[in-house]
Structure 1
Amino acid sequence: MIKFWKEHSQNATVEEMMLDSNALQLTQHELPEILEMLPSLDGLDVLELGAGIGRYTSHLIGKVNHVTAVDFMESFVEKNRKDNSHRGNAKFIQADVTQLELSNNSFDLIFSNWLLMYLSEEELISLEKKMLAWLRPGGYLFFRESCFHQSGDSKRDFNPTHYRSPAHYNHLMTSVTTEESGENGTNTYGFDMILSRNVHIYVKMKKNQNQVCWLMQKARRDVPQQNPAGFSTLQQFLDNQQYTRRSILRYEKIFGSGYVSTGGASTTKEFVDLLNLRPGQKVLDVGCGIGGGDFYMAKNFGVEVLGLDLSANMVEISMERSIQEKTPLVHFEVSDATKRSFPENSFDVVYSRDTILHISDKLELFRKFHTWLKPGGKVLISDYCCGQKPWTPAFQDYVNQRGYILCTPQRYGKILEEAGFCDVRAEDRTAQFIQVLKDELKRAEGIKDEFIEDFSQEDYDAIVNGWTGKLCRCETGDQRWGLFYGTRV
């Protein structure tokens, strides 16, 4: 690594640091995009790892309480110190991050741009644990890496970089934990995902989706959570049990290409038609699945769509499909909508299909939707609901096993009104749900041999049993399906 960076740090230029001859143009556009993903910086103590010549240091210093900027190469550190030390609220350290030792609970934000890909697997895991310890509870980790392959066009005699997949980073970062002594004993902490997405300017300028960013937050792991099957986080449950890549693709086989929600393309067309979309509008899709509805809206109405999903497996497939679909108006990110933030008046529509059943504080989320929408903006949601209690034991077991938080269609509509929405329509669409389930079971029967060839008899039985179970729960009155619509005045 010393040999590699000595070769690429002789003049301490932005082209050397980014390993790209087009670095000046790229950095002009990517800087504001990267900085926009960060939490509020006011008063924060920031650790910047792999700070280089200070491309980001200069922007961070002006907004935070203090920056500790660390880099491996002396020429980069000196350039950063020369350009930014006059601000008086920064410390510049030349160090190998794998050997770096800092005090625990010292920082509110750790910022890293192109660093982890230069570490071995063992070094990366070790640094993850250190970063978790260096952060204060509730603190944030932001990092950006090249995945799959290189991006810059600089000639390299050898390349020691580890081009990991986004899924690999997701797994590593959400698996690491650390224990800390507190007033009431030992507490366990881990990283919760806030967002993960690619850098849009690289998609636009280079048709390159391999530049990926993450924002994570240090959170307690030993506090009881409403996560099913003993998983530490809902995301771990989704990616490791309910929405493995295999289960997503078998759902798609039934719902139709691009879809993993009730009715597939037919209900998507029906519901989207209610929105009267116009070219140039911005749509936020919360729980976007594998992106079929987003591609439909962009292609047919000329709207710009941002699809969020907590399942990294869903978003990975969505991003693969976006290359095939060639729809530059659609972007995806792994994101927890309950922790995500957007400026006020960002969207014309918030759209969500069968997703919010996972979220306990629906009122707080709907208040966010209301804030994110422009005046006159619309929210449209379909979701699993329930009948009045008491429920049958079988339905209660189903809800517990999935970790769902359900309410009646009527209550759902009231929550939207409490969040500030007007002209709210809360429709019990259970009859439509039942018909769609029957149609999908008939479709499954018609493609049984093909389905079993692509997957297995066990997978086929799981689909048939799952759909049959939903029909039974609807017939008892326990399971309902609702469509909800409202407007921000």
Structure 2
Amino acid sequence: MTEFWKEHSKLATVEEMMLDSNAQQLTQHELPEILSMLPCLAGTDVLELGAGIGRYTRHLIGKARHVTAVDFMENFVEKNKEDNSHLGNAEFLQADVTKLDFPKHSFDLVFSNWLLMYLSDHELRSLAEKMLGWLRPGGHLFFRESCFHQSGDSKRDFNPTHYRTPAHYNHLITSVVLDESEKAEKKCCGFDIVLNKPVQTYVKMKKNQNQLCWILQKVRRDVVEQHQGGFSTFQQFLDNQQYTRRGILLYEKMFGSGYVSTGGPRTTKEFVEMLNLTPGQKVLDVGCGIGGGDFHMAKTFGVEVLGMDLSSNMVEIAMERAVTEKLPLVQFEVSDATKRSFPDRTFDVVYSRDTILHIKDKVDLFRKFYSWLKPGGKLLISDYCCGEQPWSPAFQEYVSQRGYILYTPQRYGQFLKEVGFTNVQALDRTEQFIQVIKSELHRAEEIKEAFIQEFSSEDYDIILKGWTEKLQRCETGDQRWGLFYATKD
């Protein structure tokens, strides 16, 4: 690694550091984009790893209380110090991050740009554990890496970079847990994903979706809930159990190309028609799955769509499809809607299909939706609901095993009114749900041979069993399906 960077740091220029002859123009657009994603830095202590010649250091110094800028190439560190030490309270260190150490709870933000891809999996896991310790409770980690393949056009005699997939980073970082027990209290902590998305500068200027950035938050890890099956985070549970890549493609085979939610393209077209979309409007899709609905809205109505999902497997497939669809109006990100923030009045529409059943505090989430919508904005949600309690033991077990938080359609509608939405329609569409399930069971029989050939007879039997049990739950009245429409005055 030292030899590689000696070769690419002779003049300590931004072109060398970014390994790209177009570095100046990229920087002009990339800097404000990435800085806009960071949490508020006022009064914070920031650790910048792989600071290079200080492309970001100068901006971090201007916002934070103190910045510690670290790089392992001496001439990069000297250049950074020469250009930026006069700007404020900062320290410049030459060090190898794999050997770096700081006291516990020293920083509010760890910022890293193009560093982790030069570490082995073992080194990355070790550094993640250290960063957890260095961060104060509630602190954030930001990092950005090249995934899949290289971006820069600089000639390289050899390339020590690890071009991981986003899912690989997600698993490595979120699986690290640190014991921070004290005398009176036993506790541990880990990282939760707040945001994982492509850097749009590279999408627009290079047609390149391989530049990915992350924001993660240090959170307390309680005893793993039963429905998470032993996984440290709900995101890990989704990617490793409920929505494995194979499982997603299996669902898609049943629901239709691009879809993993009830009714596939048929219900999507019906519900989207209720929104009266017009070209240029901005739509947020919460729980976008693999993007079928987003592509439909962009292609049919010319709207801009941001699809967000907590499953990195879902988003990776959606991004792969976006390349094929060649639709710049559609973007995707891995993010947690309960932790994500947008400026007030950003979107014309918030749309969500069969997703919010996973979220405990629905009122708080609906309050976010309300603030994110422009005046006159519209909300459209379909979601799993329930009948009045007491439920049957079988349904109670199903809800507990899945970790769903369900309400009656009427109560759901009341939540929307509580946060200020008007013209609220809380529709019980269970009968439609039943008919959709029956049609999907019929379709399953028609595609049985092709399904088994692509997957297996065991998968086919599991799908049929699941759909049949879902039908029974609806027919007994325990499981309901709600459709919710509302507006912001």
TM-score between both structures, scaled by the size of structure 2: 0.99
Distance 1:126 1:224 in 2: 23
Q: Which amino acid aligns with 1:256?
A: G
| 2:157 equivalent to 1:157 | yes
Letter in 2 for 1:54: G
**Residue 295 (1) aligns with residue 295 (2):** yes
- Alignment match, 1:434: 434
Is there any run of 5+ residues in structure 2 with no aligned partner, and where?
A: none
Quote the Cα distance in structure 2 between the aligned partners of 1:443 and 1:97: 55
What is the letter of the counterpart of residue 415 of structure 2? I
| Matching residue's letter, 2:189 | Y
Deviation at 1:87, TM superposition (A): 2.1
- Match for 1:451: what amino acid? F
In 2, the alpha carbon distance for the partners of 1:383 and 1:187 equals: 35
Q: Which runs of 4+ in 1 moved over 6 A?
A: none
Query: 1:185: Cα distance to partner?
Result: 2.8
Counterpart of 2:314 in structure 1 is: 314
8 A Cα contact 1:228 1:400, kept in partner: no
* Counterpart for residue 443 of structure 1: 443
Give the alignment of 1:61-80 within 5 angstroms: 61-80=61-80
Per the TM alignment, residue 346 of structure 1 is displaced from its structure 2 partner at its CA by 0.6
Structure 2 partner of 1:369: 369
Tell me if the contact between 2:429 and 2:480 (Cα under 8 Å) persists in the aligned partners. yes
The one-character-per-residue Cα deviations of 1:191-210 (angstroms, maximum 9, x if unpaired) are 11111111111111111111
* Residue in 1 that maps onto 2:459: 459
**Offset of 1:321 from its aligned partner?**
0.6
SS at match of 1:52: coil
- Give the drift of 1:231: 2.9
SS in 1 for 2:295: helix
Partner residue in 1 for 2:95 = 95
Q: Residue type of the partner of 1:388?
A: E
Residues 335-354 of structure 1 aligned to structure 2 (within 5 Å): 335-354=335-354
Give the equivalent residue in structure 1 for 2:266: 266
Quote the offset at 1:64 in angstroms: 1.0
Deviation at 1:364, TM superposition (A): 0.1
Partners of 1:111 and 1:143 within 8 A in 2: yes
Distance in 2 of aligned mates of 1:226 and 1:422: 37
Matches within 5 A, 1:206-225: 206-223=206-223, 225=225
Quote the offset at 1:223 in angstroms: 4.9
The match for 1:357 is 357
C-alpha contact (below 8 Å) 2:224/2:231 kept by paired residues:
no
Quote the RMSD (CA, aligned, Å). 1.0
Deviations 1:143-188 (A, max 9, x none): 0000111100011111111111111111101101111133533321
In structure 2, the residue matched to 1:204 is: 204
Q: Deviations over 1:456-483 (max 9, x none)?
A: 0111011111110111000110000000
In structure 1, what residue type is equivalent to 2:262? T
Q: CA 1:33 to 1:159, structure 2 compared with 1: closer, same or farther past 3 Å?
A: same
**CA offsets per residue over residues 432-453 of structure 1, 9 Å max, x none?**
0000000000000000010000
Residue 425 of structure 1 corresponds to which residue in structure 2?
Answer: 425
Structure 2 partner of 1:130: 130
Instruction: Note the C-alpha offset of 1:121.
Output: 1.8
SS of residue paired to 1:257: coil
CA distance in 2, matches of 1:466, 1:225: 23
Counterpart position of 1:40: 40
Counterpart Cα distance in 1 of 2:245 and 2:229: 18
Q: Which runs of 5+ in 1 are unaligned?
A: none
Q: Is the 8 A contact 2:224 2:230 kept in 1?
A: no
1:405 is matched with 405
Q: Kindly indicate whether the alpha-carbon contact (under 8 Å) linking 2:350 and 2:380 is maintained by their aligned counterparts in 1.
A: yes
- Alignment: residue pair count: 489
Shift of 1:227: 4.6
Contact 1:227 1:233 in 2 (8 A): no
Change in CA separation of 1:163 and 1:90 when aligned onto 2, cut-off 3 Å? same
Aligned partner of residue 47 in structure 1, secondary structure: strand
Deviation larger for 471-480 or 228-237: 228-237
**Alpha carbons 2:286, 2:350 under 8 Å: kept:** yes
* 1:15-55 Cα deviation digits (max 9, x unpaired): 11100000011111111111121111111111000001111
| Greater mean deviation of Cα atoms: 84-93 or 307-316 | 84-93
Q: Deviations over 1:293-345 (max 9, x none)?
A: 00000111111100000011100110111111110110101110000000011
TM-fit CA distance, 1:422: 0.6
Instruction: State the 1:225 CA deviation.
Output: 4.7
CA distance in 1, matches of 2:448, 2:224: 42
In structure 2, distance between residues paired with 1:406 and 1:186: 32
Q: Counterparts of 2:225 and 2:342 in 1: how far apart (Å)? A: 26
Distance 1:91 1:149 in 2: 33
| Superposition TM-score, scaled by structure 1 size | 0.99
Which is further off, 420-429 or 221-230? 221-230
Output the CA distance in 2 between the equivalents of 1:403 and 1:453.
32
Letter in 2 for 1:146: S
Distance in 2 between the 1:303 and 1:345 partners?
Answer: 16
Give me the whole-angstrom Cα distance separating, in 1, the residues matched to 2:173 and 2:291. Answer: 25
Aligned 8 A contact 1:306 1:330 in 2: yes
Aligned residue type for 2:373: L
The alignment partner of 1:296 has SS state of: helix
